Structure 1
Amino acid sequence: MDLGFRGDVVDFYHRFRRGYPPEVIDSLTDAFRLTTDDIVVDLGCGTGQLTLPIAQRVRSVVAIDTEPDMLVRARLAAREQEVTNVSWMLGADTDMPTLGAVIGHRNLSAVTIGQALHWMNPEKLFRAMVPFFRSGGGVSVVTNGTPLWLQDTAWSQALRGYLERWLGSELTRTCGTDDPSQLPYRDGLTTAGYDVAATTVDYTDELSAEQIVGGVYSALPVDRLPTPEQRQHFADRLRDVLQPHRPFTEEVRVRILVGRVR
């Protein structure tokens, strides 16, 4: 599947996508009892927002993404942060059975999926991974806040209206962050035999107009990204639309859904 997250989108993604608060990494570490002996797979790793902090808690991480450009930028981020225990792999959820076989039966500690499961086949993926987890290991689905244009604030509503006019289509995709999306994820884990638990981490952030513009660019496939010639006009008009609704306060809820094997 070509998601279009390449080229210029990658730099916007790396600069403007939310990182994860330390409490999220603590929660994952506690949930799977992670130590420096453990191996973790970060599936749909993007440019390493979840990969790199987890790598500091475990022996090694295999980070997988479908987009080569994402992996190139992630490797650079790892070098910049002096993280050396990550292997970057071009692949998708459909490659997990083969990777699991390479890692070995009952040798894998966790698979983390950060705001990417909506691009995958969850039920098939959850079932396929069960044999590879050690006792107490499992899957974690982490969704890092509601998309900027779907929040219950005046500035978010103004943003949504502007984007829908620009793109010519209604924006409804929640990227797996809403209750109707979370419920089938939870049911899929339960059906596959995992013990399931959920927790949240809440925090408040205040965004600049530049962060909102960059966040929008990071979420658009490359074929819908404003061209370099259009971007100044796009950003100026968006700032005008947002200006009456300052400050741009964001209430972020990170959902952490964990499925463990016995």
Structure 2
Amino acid sequence: MNIHYDPAELFASTAPYYARYRPGYPPEFFSYLADRFALNGAQTVLDLGCGTGQIAIPLAPHVARVIAVDPEPSMLDEGRRLAAEHGADTIDWRHGDSHHLHELTLPTLDLATMGASFHWTDRDALLAELDTLIAAHGAVVVLSGGAPGEHTPAPWEETITDIRTRYLGPARRAGSSTYTHPKESHAEVLARSPFSHVDTVTWTWHLPRDLDAIVGLQFSYSYFAPAQFDDENIRARFEHDLRTELATQFPHGDFTDIIHTEALIATRP
């Protein structure tokens, strides 16, 4: 099959799945931020690469304003929809990216948060620019699931990988290239930045999922994006094979995930 490489279309096609099936972050993380930085409803936060609001929406009640920035309009549309459902009306949704922050006319920030988006940026350049935007008492907060290989994958991940490889090849394609994890860890890059004091805080939590949720989650990733399949019939066969194989190998239908959340809290020394 011909694999689709239009990055904009790939990420746009993941947006509804991203909004519905991505796990987000535990409530304890937001409580930690509120306590650590004395968030009292007066702060301004930049959520860069906000996706559909997994950070912005739960954080909004703790601060005066969240400026949620993403390069994909479909992600922003889904984020606005979810924010309206949650009554989160203090989020300023903006189209943009890390390379053009200067065009957004941002105010002084108390915090800048990022999830998976950080690995797509020029990390050194971004942190230097954030140094000009974040107040002296502020911080950069980077969230992830930890380093690759740090945690044992769920037993069904091998099945999912086998079927993806059958249809899309072994590489995890993201846009016009393949995804590779940065050689330097986020902590190493932060440690040489203006925000060189780095604390690591982790949470482990359980997220119940059924077959629909585990299949839907796959379509939230760029390398599984519906637009990767240039023929809807092939995409439908892929989903059918994935569902059938998972249901056969895991007939209990319980795909509860153990989620590991790591927060790097980077402040100036």
TM-score tier after normalising by the smaller chain length: 0.7 to 0.9
Asked if structure 2 preserves the Cα contact closer than 8 Å seen for 1:130 and 1:138, the reply is: no
Query: For the aligned residues, what is the CA RMSD?
Result: 2.7
Are residues 1:218 and 2:223 paired?
A: no
Are residues 1:24 and 2:29 paired?
A: yes
For residues 19-98 of structure 1, the aligned pairs below 5 Å read: 19-98=24-103
Residues 128-181 of structure 1: CA deviation (Å, up to 9, x unaligned): 11132223311111114789xx952331111111111111223498886xxx76
Residues 172-194 of structure 1: CA deviation (Å, up to 9, x unaligned): 98886xxx76x531122121122
CA distance in structure 1 between the aligned counterparts of 2:262 and 2:67, rounded to whole angstroms = 22
Per the alignment, residue 159 of structure 2 pairs with 158
Residues 87-108 of structure 1: CA deviation (Å, up to 9, x unaligned): 1111001122444x641xxx31
Asked if structure 2 preserves the Cα contact closer than 8 Å seen for 1:39 and 1:59, the reply is: yes
Amino acid at match of 2:241: R
Name stretches of at least 5 consecutive residues in structure 2 with no aligned partner.
Answer: 1-5
Are residues 1:261 and 2:263 paired?
A: no
CA distance in structure 1 between the aligned counterparts of 2:155 and 2:179, rounded to whole angstroms = 18
Deviation at 1:28, TM superposition (A): 2.5
SS at match of 1:89: strand
Amino acid at match of 2:49: G
Q: 1:138 to 1:77 in 2, by over 3 A?
A: same
Are residues 1:202 and 2:207 paired?
A: no
Amino acid at match of 2:246: L
User: How many residues are treated as equivalent by the alignment?
Assistant: 252
- Which of 242, 245, 252 is the aligned partner of 1:238? 242
Q: 1:231 to 1:102 in 2, by over 3 A?
A: closer
Per the alignment, residue 114 of structure 1 pairs with 115
Deviation at 1:257, TM superposition (A): 0.7
CA distance in structure 2 between the aligned counterparts of 1:206 and 1:80, rounded to whole angstroms = 22
SS at match of 1:154: coil
- Which of 251, 256, 259 is the aligned partner of 2:258? 251
Bigger mean CA offset, 127-136 vs 2-11: 2-11
Amino acid at match of 2:266: G
Asked if structure 1 preserves the Cα contact closer than 8 Å seen for 2:226 and 2:235, the reply is: no
Deviation at 1:26, TM superposition (A): 1.6
Q: 1:146 to 1:260 in 2, by over 3 A?
A: closer
Deviation at 1:197, TM superposition (A): 0.7
Q: 1:205 to 1:73 in 2, by over 3 A?
A: closer
CA distance in structure 1 between the aligned counterparts of 2:64 and 2:121, rounded to whole angstroms = 27
SS at match of 2:139: strand
Asked if structure 2 preserves the Cα contact closer than 8 Å seen for 1:33 and 1:136, the reply is: no
Name stretches of at least 5 consecutive residues in structure 1 with no aligned partner.
Answer: none
Are residues 1:127 and 2:108 paired?
A: no
Amino acid at match of 1:22: P
For residues 164-179 of structure 1, the aligned pairs below 5 Å read: 164-171=165-172
SS at match of 1:248: coil
Asked if structure 2 preserves the Cα contact closer than 8 Å seen for 1:134 and 1:261, the reply is: no
Deviation at 1:6, TM superposition (A): 4.3
Deviation at 1:39, TM superposition (A): 0.1
Q: 1:153 to 1:80 in 2, by over 3 A?
A: closer
SS at match of 1:207: coil
CA distance in structure 2 between the aligned counterparts of 1:24 and 1:257, rounded to whole angstroms = 11
Amino acid at match of 2:34: T
CA distance in structure 2 between the aligned counterparts of 1:232 and 1:240, rounded to whole angstroms = 12
CA distance in structure 2 between the aligned counterparts of 1:151 and 1:3, rounded to whole angstroms = 32
CA distance in structure 1 between the aligned counterparts of 2:111 and 2:180, rounded to whole angstroms = 22
TM-score scaled by length of structure 1? 0.85
Q: 1:102 to 1:48 in 2, by over 3 A?
A: closer
